[in-house]
Structure 1
Amino acid sequence: MIGFINLYKEKGVTSFSNINRLSKILGGCKVGHTGTLDPIAEGVLPVCLNEATKLASYLIAEDKEYLAGAVLGFKTDSYDTTGSLVAEGDGRIPSEEEIQKIINNLVGEVELEIPAFSAVNIKGKRAYELARKGLIENAGMRKSIIYDIKLVEYSYPNLTISLKVEKGTYVRSIINKIGEMLGTFGTMNKLLRVRSGFFHVDTALTVEEIGLMYRNRNYDFLIPVNRVLNWSRVIVKDQFVDMVRNGISIKRVNYKYIPDNLTEMVFVTDSKGVVLSIAERSEGEIPFKNIRVFKNENFKI
């Protein structure tokens, strides 16, 4: 099996444990995920199988959509309710108008604190390792883009927001910033990843659902690579297939077929649809430069 799975990660378990269980259910095949969800979070976790794991970076780069819940009035060291209390507000109850104004001002590029309890690398150490020893309060600052953010519901001390953000954005950091701007503090208490690029929560499947389908020989959970990565396909002449498999970027005349409307990234295949490489467009005599080579005859599009 080669392709992607739209996995629903359930609350209270780690992304890693989900991947391990899925690998065992699918007979020990190579499984990788694209972007960890914290144990408190649930929702879409795109998964790559076998050769598709080599394409994970192209899924990680996609924008994300979330539905997040928060409690105002206190702050923890992890910016969510799994952490330890570090500060409390003065009991002031902000109005819905105040919250709406602050949220509106966050759209665009914003600088956010990276939570101390995160996997960010600091001088060869994971931030959470340093945080557990009390050596850091946060893991530095990071600029992120918030494309859209809306107040869904508010009844003090609870609020719910929906948001669309770029990759690598910590939603709990956004909630922490909202709390600080309100002067009341705020802590995330729930998080649902609604979308990650192509993958949407409405079609996500749990490990148990995938396991049942697999045992019944129903493989509809497997999403073809070219359905997710909507790249052009170019076809190599038979006598040049081995050259591409060996990592050589070949000349234009050595291609059997090149479509008119090309995407920036392409699948390079043989005449039977076997993927030889993924490549990026280039100028001149060599139209595509190989980025990654594949040697699995079962990887077809």
Structure 2
Amino acid sequence: MIDGILNVYKEQDYTSFDVVAKLRGILKQKKIGHTGTLDPMAEGVLLVCLGKATKLVDLLTEGDKCYRATMKLGYETDTEDVTGETTAEGDAAVLAQLTQADVKRAILSFIGKYDQIPPMYSAIKKDGKKLYEYARAGIEVKREPRPVEIYAIQDITKEADDTYSFDVYCSKGTYIRSLCRDIGRKLSCLAVLSGLHRKEVHGFSVTDALTLQEIEVRQADGTLQDAILPVDALLKQYPAYEITEQAENYLRNGNKLSPRFFKDMGERRDTRIRVYHAGKFVALYDYKEEEQIYKPFKMFL
């Protein structure tokens, strides 16, 4: 079984689940999970966890992301992108009078923190059901605004009179479809997302991502392992400690570990640490101040 993280280029018209299903066939293993859903119309970076790395899926979905978004002015749809049914038409007179400066000013006004109402077509749960389940049944439910943050918006480009593209650097949980909706409403002409390209996640760039076809070729010729990062590659924010020989059995049994069982720890007590045995990454441990001991958070033995 392969353990590690793979930077996959998700192509248009594939769901994130499609990518996982195809990888299971290519790699001949079941233990595979993705780290953040991309809509079928979207393309770009999809980090995929293999084997033991699947234990990191919940951690890796929390990362910041960068997208190249394309926004079309003039109407709204039920999905908030061009794949949906039109629900409202914008004011043609307002749209005709908009200048490039007006649009750029409205786009940039969303930099910072704001409360975003998520789209009906999303996997967020309400009363035990996903919002898209309500939407498919023709039911619109009230959604509570969720705090998101837009760190930066760059390279705003006018593609056509009614179409603009821009780079968005944002926090987890940000819906770019809803951002376009909100920009359109601010401009009083409405808008939808017409294209989405995820450029970066956790420092993984789209320039290094492999398509499913490329992965299949590299698996066949034996070079795929070169593209798979080790399980701990995205955990460098946590300090690393090697355990002593006396701690080996405690570790293998998933026991709590006293700070004395870590080499060169000294007096420092980090909240979360990477744990290594014989140079191999084996666990994440969290420090419990009240007990003055480290407790296992995730084991990778």
Structure 1 length-normalised TM: 0.91
Alpha-carbon distance, 1:75 to partner: 0.5
2:226 is aligned with 1:220: yes
Q: Relative to 1, partners in 2 of residues 1:288 and 1:132: Cα closer, same or farther, differing over 3 Å?
A: same
Q: Is the 8 A contact 2:70 2:164 kept in 1?
A: yes
Q: Relative to 1, partners in 2 of residues 1:283 and 1:246: Cα closer, same or farther, differing over 3 Å?
A: same
2:108 is aligned with 1:112: no
Aligned pairs (5 A) from 1:78-93: 78-91=79-92, 92-93=95-96
Deviations 1:136-159 (A, max 9, x none): 166442221011113521231111
Equivalents in 2 of 1:32, 1:259: separation in Å?
37
Q: Is the 8 A contact 1:120 1:126 kept in 2?
A: yes
Listed as ranges, the gaps of 5+ residues in structure 2 are none
Q: Counterpart in 1 of 2:251?
A: 244
Equivalents in 1 of 2:267, 2:188: separation in Å?
56
Equivalents in 1 of 2:62, 2:70: separation in Å?
25
Deviates more, 1:133-142 or 1:27-36: 133-142
Aligned pairs (5 A) from 1:257-296: 257-258=264-265, 264-270=271-277, 272-283=278-289, 286=292, 288-295=294-301
Equivalents in 2 of 1:6, 1:262: separation in Å?
33
2:260 is aligned with 1:253: yes
CA-based RMSD: 2.0
Equivalents in 1 of 2:206, 2:282: separation in Å?
32
Q: Is the 8 A contact 2:67 2:199 kept in 1?
A: yes
SS at match of 1:159: strand
2:171 is aligned with 1:170: no
Q: Counterpart in 2 of 1:71?
A: 72
Aligned pairs (5 A) from 1:1-301: 1-91=2-92, 92-93=95-96, 94-136=98-140, 139-150=143-154, 152-154=156-158, 155-218=160-223, 219-230=225-236, 231-258=238-265, 264-270=271-277, 272-283=278-289, 286=292, 288-295=294-301
Deviates more, 1:38-47 or 1:129-138: 129-138
The residue type equivalent to 1:276 in the other structure is: V
Q: Relative to 1, partners in 2 of residues 1:169 and 1:229: Cα closer, same or farther, differing over 3 Å?
A: same
Equivalents in 2 of 1:38, 1:138: separation in Å?
22
Deviates more, 1:136-145 or 1:246-255: 136-145
Q: Report how many aligned residue pairs link the two structures.
A: 294
SS at match of 2:186: helix
Alpha-carbon distance, 1:95 to partner: 1.0
The residue type equivalent to 1:97 in the other structure is: A
Q: Relative to 1, partners in 2 of residues 1:220 and 1:262: Cα closer, same or farther, differing over 3 Å?
A: farther
The residue type equivalent to 2:23 in the other structure is: L
Q: Is the 8 A contact 2:104 2:156 kept in 1?
A: no
Structure 2 length-normalised TM: 0.91
Equivalents in 2 of 1:101, 1:261: separation in Å?
47
Equivalents in 1 of 2:149, 2:269: separation in Å?
29
Alpha-carbon distance, 1:214 to partner: 0.9
The residue type equivalent to 1:30 in the other structure is: K
Listed as ranges, the gaps of 5+ residues in structure 1 are 296-301
